[in-house]
Amino acid sequence: MMTNQNLINSHDQHVMATYGRFPIAISHGEGARLYDFDGKTYIDFASGIGVNSLGYGNKAWVQAITDQAMKFGHTSNLYYTQPAAKTAEILCKRTGYSKVFFANSGAESSEGLIKLARKYSRDKYGDCRSKIVTLEGSFHGRTITALAATGQDVFHQHFFPFTEGFCHVPVGNMSALKATADKNTCAVLIELIQGEGGVLPLDKAYVQEMAVFCQSNDLLLMIDEVQTGAGRTGSLFAFQQYGIKPDAVSFAKGIANGVPFGGFFVNEKCSTVLGPGTHATTYGGNPLGAAAANVVLDTLTDEMLAEVVKKGEYIQEKVRAMNSPYVAEVRGLGLMIGIVLQNIAHREIVGKLNDAGVLALVAGSATLRLLPPLTISYEEIDAGLAIMQAILEA
Ligand SMILES: *Cc1c(COP(=O)(O)O)cnc(C)c1O
């Protein structure tokens, strides 16, 4: 019989050790619960990393992928397919944006945004404007260029030379941004809530001032919504709660509930920048992923999004009410929640939570990060919080 340890042994024998994995081997899931090969149950407050927005065993999602697989699983982007056409239509209709490009992952979506900005500017102003400003503490992905965009020095190691043309400025400092975004700059790329950086929501007034500055200098304002998008924060995209109209917005993680899928959408101004031959990917808009994304998008009704807000507030309140020596601050939006810890290492808490039957994530240097499925029930939330309380109050 398969056990966690059997699977871990065979896996580690053949797979590169690029991840610091926990000794848990997932067998299957149901709702917001996961089961390992030793028969242990976990309340999943992680959803992969904010990917399994509909939880496990969602019937409409299984059916949509199955139906599409029976027809065809893939064709090239030389031809047209129905699922991708529908995904693009839903995204444009619900955001008011003009056009979508489909990719397969977050990093690839960041790459697309960067190419978009540089070509937009080059078409209009020539060679001079290639610099992109991003924020300290940001995370934009693991390709060489997405790492260069990422504003954390720990990611700027080993792989030299990194792509040129990125500058990082401190969060919340508008004058630093204005000083750095000079005549050689084409765009500003930010997350609205820094996810990997520690679940740090950006101040609304700061973001709005940035939007005005970008607009008046013809800098593209590009939002990386790989983690905040697809309903995670209680609106379809987080920018919709910030009162801004960015030029381009990326998405991935939660958009297809586990099928690799991503991309970005753009406004009218940017809609023809990437013409034939300038950008492409073999799998982008893949019909299985698009069929899965359409179920996620159809599920994220206004009522559902309102529930995400309520559940998020409920969790934040419950954690704040805990009598814990470790909780310094609780923050976030919707079901993207950061619990800033003190007096204990975040990884140690996650290990204890795992042992007790809760999966959770870390972020930044001291934050416990919760990204439960958006469909999580109050019964599942309470079960997970009870376990968390016992550990955080110990
Ligand atoms: C996870 C993440 C990425 C990278 O996504 P991958 O699918 O791992 O390439 C990029 N940006 C943000 C904000 C993310 O949270």
Which residue's C-alpha comes closest to atom 8 of ligand 1?
106
Q: Quick one: pLDDT band at residue 119, thresholds 50, 70, 90?
A: very high
Q: How far is the CA of 12 from the centre of ligand 1 (A)?
A: 25
The whole-number pLDDT of residue 291 equals: 98
Q: Is residue 382's pLDDT more than 90?
A: yes
- Pick the atom of ligand 1 nearest to 108's CA: 9
Mean pLDDT of 249-261: 98
- Pick the atom of ligand 1 nearest to 191's CA: 13
**Residue spans of alpha helices (H) in 150-261:** 174-180, 204-216
Mean pLDDT of 271-281: 97
Predicted confidence (pLDDT) per residue in 292-305, tens digit = 999 999 999 999 99
Q: Quick one: pLDDT band at residue 322, thresholds 50, 70, 90?
A: very high
Which amino acid belongs to residue 8? I
Ligand 1, pocket residues at CB < 6 Å: 105-107, 110, 139-142, 191, 195-196, 224, 226-227, 252-253
The whole-number pLDDT of residue 1 equals: 87
CATH class of domain segment(s) 4-53+302-392: alpha beta
Q: Quick one: pLDDT band at residue 388, thresholds 50, 70, 90?
A: very high
Ligand 1 pocket test, candidate residues 202, 223, 228, 253, most atoms within 8 A of CB: 253
Predicted confidence (pLDDT) per residue in 124-150, tens digit = 999 989 999 999 999 999 999 999 999
Residues of the chain with CATH 3.40.640.10: 60-299
The C-alpha atoms of residue 264 and residue 372 are separated, in whole angstroms, by: 24
Predicted confidence (pLDDT) per residue in 344-353, tens digit = 999 999 999 9
Which CATH entry fits the domain spanning 60-299: 3.40.640.10, 2.70.98.60, 3.40.50.9100, 3.40.50.11900? 3.40.640.10
Ligand 1 pocket test, candidate residues 102, 196, 369, most atoms within 8 A of CB: 196
> Cα 76 to chain center, whole Å?
26
Q: What percent of the chain has pLDDT over 90?
A: 99
Which residue's C-alpha comes closest to atom 15 of ligand 1?
227
Which residue's C-alpha comes closest to atom 5 of ligand 1?
106
Mean pLDDT of 39-48: 98
The whole-number pLDDT of residue 133 equals: 98
Rounded to 5°, the CA angle 91-95-96 comes to 110
Q: Is residue 330's pLDDT more than 90?
A: yes
Q: How far is the CA of 107 from the centre of ligand 1 (A)?
A: 6
Q: How far is the CA of 226 from the centre of ligand 1 (A)?
A: 6
250-259 burial: b if 16+ Cβ within 10 Å, else e: bbbbbbbbbb
φ/ψ region of 35 (left if φ > 0, alpha if ψ in -120 to 50, else beta) reads beta
Going 206 to 207 to 208 to 213, the CA torsion angle's sign is: positive
Residue 28 in contact with residue 56, Cβ under 8 Å? yes
Residues of the chain with CATH 3.90.1150.10: 4-53+302-392
Three-state SS string across 34-101, please? EEECCCCEEEECCHHHHCCCCCECCHHHHHHHHHHHHHCCCCCCCCCCHHHHHHHHHHHHHHCCCEEE
The C-alpha atoms of residue 265 and residue 239 are separated, in whole angstroms, by: 13
Using alpha carbons, select from 201, 101, 109 the residue that is nearest to residue 149: 109
The C-alpha atoms of residue 120 and residue 116 are separated, in whole angstroms, by: 6
Predicted confidence (pLDDT) per residue in 59-71, tens digit = 999 999 999 999 9
The whole-number pLDDT of residue 394 equals: 87
